[in-house]
A and B are shown apart, each in its own frame.
Chain A
Amino acid sequence: MTVAWSSPPLPMPWYRARVEDAWLETRTARTVVLDVPGWPGHHAGQHVDVRLTADDGYTATRTYSVASAPEAGRLVLTVQLVTEGEVSPWLVGEAREGDELEVRGPIGGWFRWDEQMPEPVLLVAGGSGVVPLMAMVRHRSRVGAVQPFHLVYSARTPDHVIYTNELFALARTSPGLRVDRLYTRGGLPDDAREPGRLRPQDLPAVDAFPAPPVVYVCGPSGFVEAAGGILIDQGHDSGAIRTERFGPSS
């Protein structure tokens, strides 16, 4: 008999995926629901490789965060359009029910959350960086976890907020979940905060939590740099801060 544990690890397989549904979240971000037979599930915060194949065999692959709570056989992505990109223009502008593509993963063992982690959670999102954090918020609600969750979500304007209605609803119905929105370009007429980039007072200090939280920051590189600096100034331990940046993943 061969000894299984001593064999070299097998490569992760590609799964055939079928677009089940798709809708715009903002003018340039689209949610795509994929039916993926055999998909083992993932952890909230992880990402997948998406491969598109043209009819002459040409392929392009990009990495996208999973937006949905973990489940077998199904994945939901939310993709921000990168105009000069190669895969996102198809996902945002072209994909429709019944289309076929491939996915591989899940990838990323660090930027992930599950309900076994006892700490409170601070989520800091810049733009479409909210996507993997939304998977965590959805998973917390689905499993009924009670760890305090605080999401601080920076978007250009209220029109750029992804999942806006769901976030309002979840903040009202999920005890212990707080959602703060802040706008960099322009807000609502009654906003107390002047629009602008992230400021120290936008992020809660470590002692605002019952115990030091684990912090997840996701967004463009400049946003993650700024947030990381503020968090450390606010007393958060650098080892408790997990970051994910997107350069252009087109």
Chain B
Amino acid sequence: MDIVTRGFVGRRSGGDPRIPPGQYLERDFPVLSAGPTPVVRREDWTLRVEGVDGSSGILSWADLHRLPVEDVRTDIHCVTKWSKLDTSWRGVDVEAVLAAAGVGTQGATHVLVHAHGGYTTNLPLADLRGGRAWIATEYEGASLAPEHGGPARLLVPHLYFWKSAKWVSGLQLLAQDRPGFWEQLGYHEYGDPWREQRYVGD
């Protein structure tokens, strides 16, 4: 559209190739959530993994911490347009979580991620595998704060950050895709920040 906004110059602070189109650099860590922060104690926290055949396995906080822990340094991108560079996390590879839960992934193409408070988000199973997704329990060297999803959140930094469900409570494997909470409310099915997939149809 041939439109020029009179008097607008912009700050053009960008130019960093790590910042996807339409995003701006943020030094704080803003929060996006639909409701009040749920209080989830570590001793009550569990992660339920459910297969397409109805089989399921449950990991406790202690079970999770028996799995190999990885340090992750990554950029994160929120659909509300801020990006934060070089954030550091500690967590367990989702691949290891799936194996520990003892639930087969045969026949599964997608995952509906569940969280305390009722939030859900969906993504292809492949995006949770191959060392690209973690169950994160630490941020910048400290326990993950409740408003950032503590005690544990999903971390899938290659997609917009709403896919990285806070207060994660379950991974439900699906034989076909099913939209989650924000995905039913006009946000994009997949959410690739490099293709600016913010809203339905982008």
A residues apposed to B, CB below 8 Å: 8-12, 14, 16, 52-55, 58-63, 86, 90, 94, 99-102, 107-111, 217, 221, 224-225, 228-229, 231-232, 238-239, 241-243, 245-250
Contacts and interface: CB of A to CB of B under 8 A. Distances in A.
Contacts of B24: 60, 86, 250
23 contacts: A11-B199, A12-B200, A52-B10, A53-B3, A53-B8, A54-B4, A54-B8, A62-B81, A99-B5, A102-B1, A107-B186, A107-B199, A110-B181, A221-B147, A241-B35, A242-B35, A243-B33, A243-B35, A243-B36, A245-B33, A247-B26, A248-B28, A249-B81
Interface in B1-39: 1, 3-12, 22, 24, 26, 28-38
Given A99-B7, A242-B35, A11 B201 contact: yes
Contacts of B4: 53-55, 100
Contact of A90 (B5, B200, B202): B5
B4 to A, nearest CB: 5
A107 B81 CA distance: 14
Interface in B157-202: 181-182, 184-186, 199-202
Contacts of B31: 221, 245, 247
Contacts, number: 118
Contact of A16 (B1, B22, B201): B1
B107 interface: no
A63 B200 contact: no
A106 to B, nearest CB: 9
Interface of B: 1, 3-12, 22, 24, 26, 28-38, 80-82, 117-118, 147, 181-182, 184-186, 199-202
A229 to B, nearest CB: 7
A14 B33 CA distance: 26
Nearest to A105: B199
B160 to A, nearest CB: 13
B3 A100 contact: yes
Given A11-B200, A241-B35, A248-B28, 20 more contacts: A8-B201, A12-B202, A52-B5, A54-B9, A59-B10, A60-B8, A63-B80, A86-B24, A90-B5, A100-B3, A108-B186, A109-B186, A224-B36, A228-B35, A228-B37, A239-B35, A245-B33, A247-B28, A247-B29, A247-B31
Given A11-B199, A109-B184, A94 B34 contact: no
A62 B198 CA distance: 13
A86 B28 contact: no
B36 A108 contact: no
A229 B37 CA distance: 8
Nearest to B32: A245
Contacts of A101: 3, 5
Contacts of A11: 199-202
